[in-house]
Structure 1
Amino acid sequence: MARLPADLEDVLARYVRGPALVREAVNGAGPGVISRAGSGGWSVRDVLVHLADAELVRASRLRFMLAEEEPPALPGFDEGRWKRRLQYLWRSPEAALALYDALVYSNAELLRQFPAEAFGRDGLVDGERVTVAELLQRGAAHSEEHADQIRALRAELGDRPGR
């Protein structure tokens, strides 16, 4: 029987709330604000596309770790290189947010089906052993960090949520 470990119930709830936090942070931002880079070189659009791409990688990692007995070394990625080579500047922020939302939903639906011991399964990511539980924890923190980044970026650009 599927049973999420008690110590991960809050983590899964935070993970599932991630897309809503990001949508809240973006709400009311116009195209000029979404596309303009801040002092760190990233725009709101870039962050949204990054979230979708990172979640796509997480989805792949989770599936390999849960389905394979000996998963191959799992892919890492260079977010700066992906931003440049995958043309974040021209990508749709709406499509990125929709993809991010769908991937989080799909990953959460998948994780709810597994017994507690499955969360200890692991794989090799960038030379480090990482468990399914750790991927989930990182996913929850990732959305929270980027929602904060979007709010800070909007403030830096003189835009405020709800304007």
Structure 2
Amino acid sequence: MPRLPAELEEVLARYVRGPRLVREAVDGAGPEVTSRAGSGGWSVRDVLVHLADAELVRAGRLRFILAAEEPPALPGFDEGVWKRRLQYLWRSPEAALALYDALVYSNAELLRQFAAEAFERRALIDSEPVTVAELLRRGAAHGEEHAAQLRALREELGDRGGS
């Protein structure tokens, strides 16, 4: 029977909470969703599309690692390049949030099927070794960090969720 390593149970719970935290952070967002603020120049929409794209990459990476006989070499990605070349300016924030939510659910469902040793399987991402466990930890932190970023961005833009 598959068993998630005990040290990853809370990590998986945090990972699964990510979409809810992000939804709460953007709940009631108004027209400022497309406004860019701060030196980073990211809008609420940009962050939501980035979350969906990053989770799409994580989904592929997990599957490549878990299905491979030998550790695969996987490409990295440059979020700034993706923002520019993948038309974040014109993408739907609602669709991005729905995709992020679905991918996290699917990845968590997949990971729950594996025994502890699967979490130590490795890939090389930009020539750096990364385990399945590390991808899960990064995914948990990613949702939390961007939820905080979205709250701060909305505050900076003067939006308080309709209040």
In 2, Cα distance between equivalents of 1:58 and 1:71: 16
Q: CA contact under 8 A between 2:4 and 2:116: conserved in structure 1?
A: yes
CA deviation map 1:110-134 (0-9, x unaligned): 0000000100001001111000000
User: Which residue of structure 1 lines up, in the alignment, with residue 35 of structure 2?
Assistant: 36
In 1, Cα distance between equivalents of 2:118 and 2:87: 36
User: Which residue of structure 1 lines up, in the alignment, with residue 156 of structure 2?
Assistant: 156
**Counterpart residue type for residue 131 of structure 1:** T
Tell me whether 1:14 sits opposite 2:14 in the alignment: yes
- 5 Å-filtered alignment, 1:3-152, equals 3-30=3-30, 32-39=31-38, 40-152=40-152
RMSD: 0.8
Give the deviation of 1:160 after TM superposition: 1.2
In 2, Cα distance between equivalents of 1:71 and 1:45: 35
Listed as ranges, the gaps of 5+ residues in structure 2 are none
Give the deviation of 1:14 after TM superposition: 0.2
Q: How many residues align?
A: 162
Q: CA contact under 8 A between 1:52 and 1:100: conserved in structure 2?
A: yes
In 2, Cα distance between equivalents of 1:19 and 1:3: 24
Give the deviation of 1:65 after TM superposition: 0.6
Listed as ranges, the gaps of 5+ residues in structure 1 are none
Q: TM-score, normalised by structure 1?
A: 0.97
In 2, Cα distance between equivalents of 1:48 and 1:100: 8
Post-superposition, which runs of at least 4 consecutive aligned residues in structure 1 deviate over 2 A? none
In 1, Cα distance between equivalents of 2:71 and 2:128: 13
Give the deviation of 1:72 after TM superposition: 2.8
Name the SS for the 2:160 alignment partner. coil
CA deviation map 1:37-78 (0-9, x unaligned): 011200000000000000000000000110111243112100
In 2, Cα distance between equivalents of 1:43 and 1:155: 12
Q: TM-score, normalised by structure 2?
A: 0.97
Give the deviation of 1:161 after TM superposition: 3.1
In 1, Cα distance between equivalents of 2:45 and 2:35: 8
Give the deviation of 1:162 after TM superposition: 4.9
**Counterpart residue type for residue 3 of structure 1:** R
Q: CA contact under 8 A between 1:151 and 1:161: conserved in structure 2?
A: no
